[in-house]
Structures are given as structure tokens and as C-alpha cells.
Structure 1
Amino acid sequence: MTTVTTRTVEYSADGLTMIGHLALPAGTDRRPAVLVGPEGTGLSDVERRRADALAELGYAALAFDLHGGRYLDDPEEMLARCMPLLADPDRMRGIGHAALDVLRAEPRTDPDRIAAIGYGTGGAIALELGRDGVDFRAIATVNGLITGRPGEAARIRCPVWAGVGSEDPIMPPAQRDAFTAELQDAGVDWRLVVYGGALHAFHHPSVNHTVRPGVGHHPRHAQRAWRDVVALLDECLPVSVTE
């Protein structure tokens, strides 16, 4: 098994001191890199483990922070912060660019070979970076099927993969249709996978659907969505082993 090293990284964004999680594969060579964005509740061990798993595959990976080191498990507090954020593309881009700068500054990162994956709010931020013209190799978003400002999707230069639960009340069919129409009209190489029977945040093991209606974990689809994301990276950002 590949030896992975991890460390926390502090950086400034959105008026807060963010605390990200950086995971690096063994070796000293530059590696393709992946920016990992969390759900609206914030950075948790779920995203940290995903960064670690990506490092096991040979990527440098940074799971970024949304709330200055806090995890907002109170739904009202989370919505009070995230709804204004999701309505403000420039704020989302600011948070994303700050994290991307940290990842690019890491000596192990190949700055010309970076992808972004995100969940919920983190996925929306990944998309906004694409709409801002960041030269990603791929973007993946689970649940975060948020449309952008008119015309800006044409700046997305890479394939976009999106995953959503069929029973997600937060991302209903009308929202899915608006999202895919935006990408199609912009000429983006896109694909959408709808996971049958899954709710919002189906990929996140710690969610409690009894507290948040319409939210719940679906173990089988969570594994499938992760495999789909890894397949996207393998297609668009393959890891080549340096001797």
C-alpha cells in the first residue's frame, strides 16, 4: 500500500482562517492534484478520507474548508451561512481560489494538472471556479448542481461529471434540467448520473435523515458515485508512475 502523508494547512478566505487537509502520496516528484470540496456542513472526516484515498491513488489532494475550521451540524446555522454563499458566485470563487492557491503552491503538485471534485456547496464552488476560467482537467460535483450567471459556463474548459439522487428534493428534476441545459448550451462536455432512490447527500455516511428531511445516506450508491468520480479522474487526469 502506498504510504500517504497528511497535514493540516491554514490559509485565509472569506474573512476566516480556513483549516484544510492536505494528503500526499509517497515520493518527491510532482503529482497530478485534486481539490476536494465538502458539503455545506463543512469539512469533515468524510472529505479528509477521500483526500487520503486520492493520495493512495497517486494524487496530491487538498480537502478545503468552508467555515473557518467549524462543522455546522445545526441545519439552521448551516443554511444561514450557505444560502447567501450559494447566491454569491464571487464569494464562492474567493473561497475556491484561496484553496486552489494552497494546492498549487504545494511543491508536490503539478500546477498544470489539477481537477476539482466537490459535494453540495463544495461542488458548487468547483463549478464556479470552472466558470471563472480555471484550467481544470475535470470537474465532478455530487448534489451541487447549481446554475451560474448567464454565459459564464462557456469558460469551463474540461469535462464535467455530475451525480444526484433521484429522490433529492433539494436538486429536483427542474434544477437538474436547468443545470444540464446551461452546460449543453455552453458546449461543455458533460454527463449526469441519477442514482435511483437516493436522497440529498446520499454519499455522506454521517447524515441523519430524521433530522434533515430529504437527506440520507445510501451506501451502495455512495460507493458507486465514488467509483464514477475515480473513473473520471482516471480518464481526464491519469496518474503516471515516475521511476
Structure 2
Amino acid sequence: MTTVTTRTVEYPADGLTMVGHLALPTGVGRRPAVLLGPEGPGLDDVQRGRADALAELGYVALAFDIHGGRWFTDPEEMLARCMPLLADPDRMRGIGHAALDVLRAEPRTDPDRIAAIGYGTGGAIAVELGRDGVDLRAIGTVNGLFTGRPGEAARIRCPVWAGVGSEDPIQPPAQRDAFAAEMQAAGVDWRLVVYGGALHAFHHPMTRHQTLLPGVGHHPRHAQRAWRDVVGLLEECLPVSH
């Protein structure tokens, strides 16, 4: 197994001091990089672990923060923070660009080979970076299927992969269909995987400290499959040359 080096990085965004988690692969040369966005509750050890796993595969990975170091256990608090954010593409882009600047400034990062992957709110931010015309090699969003402002998806310059649970009431079929129609109309290279029987946040193990919204639940098998699909997207669009 490769040796991964990690460190905490603080940077300003959205009027807050964000606290991200940077994971570096073994070696000294430049590597392709992945911007990793967290679920609505915020950046936690699950997302940090995903960044570490990507670093083991040879990527520079930054798990970025969306709440200034906070992780919400109360869904009402989380929604009060996330819903206005999801309704404001410019704020989402600001959070994404601030994290992207940190990732690009890392000497190990190949600035011309970056992908953005995210879950829930973090996935919506990843797609907004594409709609903003950022030069990315791939975008992946799990449970972050939100339509953007009309026509802006035409600025996406890379393949987009999206995953969602079939029983997710927070991302219902009409929302999935609208996202697919937006991508198709914009001429994006897109695909959508629907994981049968899975609820919202099916990819995230639940802790006893959390109060869960209706329609939220972990699906271990599909969580593993979604991770393999994300890694497959990166292997296709952003291969690591050793």
C-alpha cells in the first residue's frame, strides 16, 4: 500500500474559514488531482477517508469544507444552511473556486488534470464549477442532481457522471429527469446510474449522533458500487501514470 500524507488546510470562502483535508500520494512528482465535496451535514471522517483512498490510488485529493469547520447533526440546522446555498449558484461556485485554488496551489497537483467529485451539496458544487466553465477532466455527483441556470450547462467541458438512489425522495424522478434533460440539451457527455432500492445519502454510514431526515438511509452494497463507479470515472478520464 502506498504511503499517504495528509494535512489540514484552512482557507476563506463564503465569509467563513474553511477547514479542508488534503491527502497526498507517495512520491514527489505532480499527480492528477481530485476536488472532493461533502454531503450536506459537512466534512467528516467519511469524506476524509475518501480523500485518503484516492491518494492511495495516486491522486492528490482535497476534501473541501462547506460550513466553516462545522458538521451538522441536526437536520433542521443543516437545511437552514444548505437550502439557501443550493438556491444560489454564485455562492456554490465561490465555495468551489476557493477550494480549487487551494488544490491548484499544492505543488504536487498537476493543474491541468483535475476532476471534481461530490456528494449531495458537494456534488451540486462540483457540477456548478462545470457550469461556470472550469477546465475539469471529469465531474461526478452522487445525490447532487440539481438543474442550473438555463443554458449554462453548455459550458461543461468534460464527462459528467451522476448517481442517485431509486427511492430517494429528496432527489425524486422529476428532478433526475430535469437534470438529464439539461445535460442532454447542452450536449454534455453524461450518464446517470440509478441504484435500485437506495434512499438519499445511501453512500454514507450513519452515526448514532445524527438525527435523520425521512428518506435518508445507508445501503452498504450500493455505497461500494457507487465508489467503484466514481473510481472508474477517474480511471477513464483522469488516469494516473506511475
User: For the superposition of Structure 1 and Structure 2, which TM-score range results when normalised by the shorter chain?
Assistant: over 0.9
Structure 1 residue 28, shift from structure 2 partner: 0.7
Amino acid of the structure 2 residue aligned with 1:137: R
Matches within 5 A, 1:159-178: 159-178=159-178
Identity %, equivalent residues: 87
Contact 1:207 1:216 in 2 (8 A): no
Give the Cα–Cα distance (whole angstroms) in 2 for the partners of residues 102 and 43 of structure 1.
Answer: 16
Contact 2:73 2:211 in 1 (8 A): no
Amino acid of the structure 1 residue aligned with 2:33: A
Tell me the equivalent position of 2:56: 56
Deviation readout 1:128-165 (Å, 9 max, x if unpaired):
00000001000000000010000000000000000000
Contact 1:201 1:207 in 2 (8 A): no
Tell me the equivalent position of 1:225: 226
Give the Cα–Cα distance (whole angstroms) in 2 for the partners of residues 80 and 203 of structure 1.
Answer: 23
Give the Cα–Cα distance (whole angstroms) in 1 for the partners of residues 211 and 186 of structure 2.
Answer: 39
Give the Cα–Cα distance (whole angstroms) in 2 for the partners of residues 185 and 63 of structure 1.
Answer: 31
Tell me the equivalent position of 2:33: 33
- SS across alignment from 2:235: helix
Specify every segment of 5 or more residues in structure 1 that has no aligned partner in the other structure, as ranges: none
Contact 1:32 1:239 in 2 (8 A): yes
Give the Cα–Cα distance (whole angstroms) in 1 for the partners of residues 15 and 171 of structure 2.
Answer: 29
- SS across alignment from 1:183: helix
- How many pairs are equivalent? 241
Structure 1 residue 113, shift from structure 2 partner: 0.0
Give the Cα–Cα distance (whole angstroms) in 2 for the partners of residues 207 and 158 of structure 1.
Answer: 35
Give the Cα–Cα distance (whole angstroms) in 2 for the partners of residues 63 and 211 of structure 1.
Answer: 23
Give the Cα–Cα distance (whole angstroms) in 1 for the partners of residues 109 and 207 of structure 2.
Answer: 32
Amino acid of the structure 1 residue aligned with 2:24: L
Tell me the C-alpha RMSD between the 2 structures: 1.0
Matches within 5 A, 1:45-84: 45-84=45-84
Tell me the equivalent position of 1:88: 88
Amino acid of the structure 1 residue aligned with 2:196: G
Contact 1:35 1:100 in 2 (8 A): yes
Tell me the equivalent position of 2:97: 97
Give the Cα–Cα distance (whole angstroms) in 2 for the partners of residues 184 and 222 of structure 1.
Answer: 26
Tell me the equivalent position of 1:139: 139
Structure 1 residue 206, shift from structure 2 partner: 2.0
Structure 1 residue 211, shift from structure 2 partner: 3.1
Tell me the equivalent position of 2:240: 239
Contact 2:165 2:199 in 1 (8 A): yes
Amino acid of the structure 1 residue aligned with 2:39: E
For residues 210 and 167 of structure 1, do their structure 2 counterparts lie closer, same or farther at Cα, with a shift above 3 Å needed?
Answer: farther
| TM-score under structure 2 length normalisation | 0.98
Give the Cα–Cα distance (whole angstroms) in 1 for the partners of residues 142 and 241 of structure 2.
Answer: 26
Contact 1:134 1:156 in 2 (8 A): yes
